[in-house]
Every structure is written in structure tokens, then in C-alpha cells.
Structure 1
Amino acid sequence: MNSTTVFPTISFDKEKGTLSISGVSIPENPPAIFEPLIQEVIEYCKNPAPKTNIIIDLDYANTASTKWIFHILERFERIYIDKHVVVVNFFYADNSIFNTGRYYADNLALPLDFIKK
């Protein structure tokens, strides 16, 4: 899905084990965007690639979007706990996005690599 002024760009290559969420995320109906992705992640986690790479590079996300992204990361946390390699690169340009990433890091077992833009 390509980015618009309200939707993030979402790219999920299940064969390569790469998920990227970037841009701005302020959709009026977040379930319409994120529920299909969660279903894809659930299926992926049944037979994940040897290494899963997650890139989160948001310029802005509303509260609803950050909650949905948290739920997506929870799915990957499960395979990480089961000893699968999961790498999360979290890009940030300001304190608001950084604090969102800190919340994820503090509340998930997934290691997040913070990268300042």
C-alpha cells in the first residue's frame, strides 16, 4: 500500500521476511488499514522466514495507529520468544515518535534498534 497524506506506506514481503511501515498514519478508520495486515502477520508467524526484519519509519502517527502497530509487534514478539530472529529498526526524527518507540520497547520483549533520522 502506498503512502497518502493519511495512510502509511506498508510493504510486507513474507518470503524475505520484511515488513516496512513508513510515512504518516492518521486514517479515520484504522481497522480498515491494519486488520488485514494483522491477518497477514498471523499467517506469516505460522511459518516465518529464518530472519524477520521490521522497519518502522513514521513521520507522524495518531494514537489509534500506534496502538495497532503495537498489536502487530505483539504478533512478532511471539515468534521472537520462540527463538526466531526478529530485528526491529525504529526510525525517528522527533521526540514524539521516539517516545512511541520507547513505549514499544518498554512493553514488548522485542529488541528495537533506534535510528535517528
Structure 2
Amino acid sequence: MLFRVDPASAVPLGDQIAACVRGALADGSANPGERLPAARELADSLGVNVHTVLRGYQRLREEGLIELRRGRGAVIVPGAPAPDRARLVERVHAVVAEARTLGLTDDELLSLVRTSLAAP
């Protein structure tokens, strides 16, 4: 699995790391049961703080995509969402990031989504 981050991006580095894993799930280059790199190892290779990697891993854990176990590290959960769902989650994150870049409030974004859901 390839991890890339752009320090100049408005997207927080931890979110970029989580996006790399979501993208790998979406394109099939990562599979359930696969172990992610140790946080310290990944931080060193990306030139970021270990807590940045842990924030990305925590976000993935909250989304139900990985398990974090002491001594075992981060592992993609069996039964992780199908690639189509992972792709959709990645797109949602991109939309939220774009909305923040444009200065939209959460309520404005939710209103746009509700309007889209109501459209035929």
C-alpha cells in the first residue's frame, strides 16, 4: 500500500493518511486482514509526527475500517466495507474538504445534501 501526503494541502495530514487507506480499499490494493504499517515506521517514512499517523488510524477505526490492538498494530477489519462503499466514503470526505475550502458551514453543506437527496 502506498502512502502519500502533501504538507501544502489544506487537508490535515492525518486525514490524508486515512484517505490513502480508504483509496487502497476502494481500488482493491488493500484487503481485509491486511496489517497497516506501524505508526512510528509510517511516520518516519512520511516525515510526519507519529501522533499524526495515529490520528489518521483513529479516524479509520471510528469508521469501522480498521482495528487497533496493542502489540498487533492496525489491521483492516474482516468484512470491511466493499470497494464501492469505500469509494463513496472517500468521495464524501472530498466533498466535505471542498466545502470547508469554500467556507461553507456544516448546515449549508447538509442543506445541499438534503436538496440533492430530495431531487428526482
If the TM-score is normalised by the length of the shorter chain, which range does it land in? 0.3 to 0.5
* Structure with greater proportional strand content: 1
Higher helix proportion: 2
Identify the structure with bigger relative contact order (alpha carbons < 8 Å, sequence gap 6+).
2
How high is the TM-score relative to the length of structure 2? Answer: 0.31
